[in-house]
Structure 1
Amino acid sequence: MTNIIIICASALLSFNAAALSRVTASVNENPIQLNESVDLVIAVDDKVDSDAFDFSVLESNFRLLGTSVSSETRMINFKTTRITRFTTRLMPKKAGNLTIPEFSYQGISSNPISLQVTQNASSTDDNKRIYVETELSQNDVWLQQQVTYTTRLFLSVQISSGSLTQPEIEGALVEQEGKDKEYDKIINGVAYRVIERTYKVIPQRSGQFSIQSPVFQAEVVENARRQFGFNRTKTISRVGPDQTLNVKAIPNHYVGHWLPSEMVMLNSELEPKQQEYYVGEPITRVITLSALDVSEEQLPEINAQYPADIKVYPDQAEVRTNLRGDQYISQRVETQALIPSQAGSVTLPAIEITWWNTKTEKMQTTQVDAQTINVVANPSMASTPTQPAQIMTPPAPNQADTELSNSAEPDTQDDRTLTPASPAPVSAWSLNYLVILFVSLWLITLGGLLWVLFNKQKDKSDVGHVNDHSQSEKLAWSRLQKACQKNQIEQIQTQLPIWVAAIYQTPIATSHQALAQLDNPNVNEQINAMQASRFSPQGNHWQAQALLIELKKIRQTQLTKQQPNTHLAKLNP
């Protein structure tokens, strides 16, 4: 009897488990027209995690426009049912019969769906009323060379609401530049309202990439169809043509800080400008580095080796980017206070910046020539009186010294006269000490030069890989840090996957993948709070300081792991 009860209970539990794991898939419309979106709904009779399904398997035929997860719990006649729904908006990439594959959860799978995508005359007419254009300023660029991406939305119908997404560019930093431009334009006799949006794109990886167009979704007012006295609306989606970006890698023979640009200028000015400068009074040297179509973070530090008779007090460098016409000019301004310590002709050193000319595809050097200034004594500084040299009287010789002197020198007692005492000669021990000191310093200097040359050769052989990764990570982190400091939620969402991909050196395309790679509960908590603040009716003002602190900890840990082994011998206590 007991065995029968156990078997029945097991069968009942198995039935309930199967029922709770039922998975169904459906779409809200079939067939659909090309350039229109469809909602795919996956329903599971259970409470499941938000990452239970991987919708990336649909990317070959569809654009994924976002996924939302909802759950509900019902109790009817003491029977509890739980349902979790995953709603993913899809936009077909082509016309034809497209298959949505099955999705599985705990061994239970949904049925595949055959979706028919048509392109007929009505769809073509709709595309003439609303369409999107995309444009790249250049299709062939070098790694980290800035390029401009422009999106234009053309509207000739009335819409009640609409949204335009950001372009999807794998392995690149993307930032919207300025505000949208709006203007009217007549095309083939049709009046359009044009909305133009411009983005700065800085590729962080070499290779060929396809830039997917932003997606425009809107509710179009249909004046011909009215219901209960109100105009009905129709949901439409539009995409523009994809663009191809070819990113060339850093040349193997390039040495130094990677700076790709069409034009680089270097300028140096002295303030005040005069013929002579006084000892002890400061001279301000302003050095300005300007480059075309690069980000301000890409500009290198300006280094100069000054002579020993000049003290240098550098100020914090200023960086800025300005838009002139359709090109960006980034500048780095370094201000130095120079104080000469002695009079005479003083030569300020020349400054050189190595860069890559993207037009001629050659390595170039831009420099500021050395400059000689005349430094004279400062009349306002009181001269210090010179103290007369004191004549040191040698101590009276002892008996042993007298005997040694008498035995070594001829007898000159009769010819002795009183003469001033001469300085005592330097001992042989002091000379030997100085020789040993100078030889030791020379050996240390020689060893240091050999070490520097060895590391330069090693860096030169690894420049293609090391520069690519380290500079990409620094730029990505700079963008993400700036977005957190300014509390820019949209930019944080965009820059987080790019930085995670750079710091972990692994392909990351979405914020979800970035969070999975970080696997940090504190970061997940901050991102969830950030997302909730965007739609909170109470207007919850989320701040990114806590998120930035957690990301800094992760970055420090990861960079420490990536530090090369220096092979130093262990130190004995």
Structure 2
Amino acid sequence: MVTRKRSALIWLTTLLMGWSVICHAKFTASVDRTIINQNETVELTLRSDKQEFGAEPDLSPLHELFTVLGRSQRSQYQSVNGKTQSWTDWIITLRPKQSGYVVIPPISLRGEKTKPITLDVKPAGSNQQLSGKNVSPVFIEASLDKEKVFVQEQAVLTILIYHSVPLYDDSRITPLTIPSVISQQLGEVKNYETIINGQRYGVFELKYAIFPQESGEILIPALKFTSTVASQSRRNSPFNMFPRQIGTPVEEYSPEIKLTVKAPPASAKGHWLPAQKLTLTENWSTDTSQLKVGDSVTRTIEIKAEGLTAAQLPPLTTPELNGVKLYPDKSQTKDIPTDQGIIGQRIESIALVPTQAGTIELPEIRYRWFNTTSQTIEEAVLPAKQITVAPVATSQAQPTAPSAPATAPTPSVVATQPEINTTLTKPSPLSSGVWPWFTLLFATLWLITLGLWWQQRQQQPKTANTLSNTPAVENASTQKLFNGLMNSCDQQNLTEIRRLFVQWSQQALDNPQIQNLQKTDECWQNPALSAYLQALDNQLYGNQSLPFDCAAFKQQIKQLKPTKQAKPAKHSLMPLYPSLSN
């Protein structure tokens, strides 16, 4: 009877836990793009962070502003490193019924609702340039968001591949390669539908951010698109029990486009940063108003620029502060692709440890950039800041030791002492004769052990002292590079210090992938060394007036202890062309 009650209790608890998970399942919505034409489709993805069985989202709020053209459902389950994750997606194909700003309303599932999404729907006449023309079953359009840009300014190239016939999944397009231009694909290939002259077309959309590195006129070349048109008769044949990819090959080229690249204006000095928007923000790990001597506080500064890659953002300089020890962390960089281009992000963190009480004066930080929208030089500024450091709270005074009493102890204390027997007894023979022999025996055994240990030590091969301040070297080549690095530090030759440190690190760590200073910093994983390497780069390329402390850097190198790192596994090559799916 007790067993049945216990089983029922366990079953009820499990049911309640499952119901709690269902009630708190996360339900979200996303779209593949937010700017479309009225005659185009958009894919709405509804996701529940659990596997749903029998439950369906309520799509009725969509019918007022959208035509639902199709829907599909898929569930996935995965386990990575012991952590399981499952979800269910509903993919809804929508076509807006009107232009302007159209809102996808909240969709509900099991009491949970998604957040609304706003679409920018352009008028249906956006493809009027194709009206009245004999449109091919497969054709390509290419366009730039700007006709003229400055050197290193971003331009967004859009490639649209239209097809009114079914294509196999072997669609390919050649990569974008332009001399003296850095290009980067923005996200994945988008796939949607549109209507041209009453004909429904599937569309592949690719976007690239391009950054010209030289002034003049550049030509964006034609990109080659290849695919296979599925044979309609073979597809519908009742005898096609084992279908093969039989169809008509198709090959199309995008039009060539010219782009004018202008030189930076004469007013631009220092770092040239052409961006649409640039911001500086800072965060502190703790409240700076409660700071005391010896406390640690971390200052994190984020630089975010629209229209620039993270590699284009120069590092911030770290001035010396009186009464403060600074411990800069390794910078973090990231490129965030969007439909409008790249957003470059650089995050720099530095720990501050006050060593004395008083006021810390943090100077203002200025980041000079060129606004490509207003065509003006601007500065992002973090204002100067004062931090008051309080002294360490003094501990409570320790009580002083009491002085010795001037008088003799009280009689009561003496009375409690036991009576002492003053009669002298003759020591026994055992106590006087045996213990010296035991002592001699133990001493003899100890001397024998010491001798055996010394003999074994002399027979061991001599090995290099791994705790020495000078790093161990494996061969003459590594030793030669190390000696040259030391001499360069003595001569204060910063260029040679940078070059030899990279070469020596490559051999000392046995890592052929170390080809530059950044990779060297990553492999050593030494915060103190990172600060010196950043200061070295700032001195060489950042127009810094403060001298680089070559002697301190030399001592820092001597403290390094090289360890062999596991060589990375060889990875297979990525596909040459991006894959396009129907």
Higher relative contact order (CA 8 A, sep 6+): 2
Tell me the TM-score normalised to structure 2 length.
0.42
Tell me the TM-score normalised to structure 1 length.
0.43
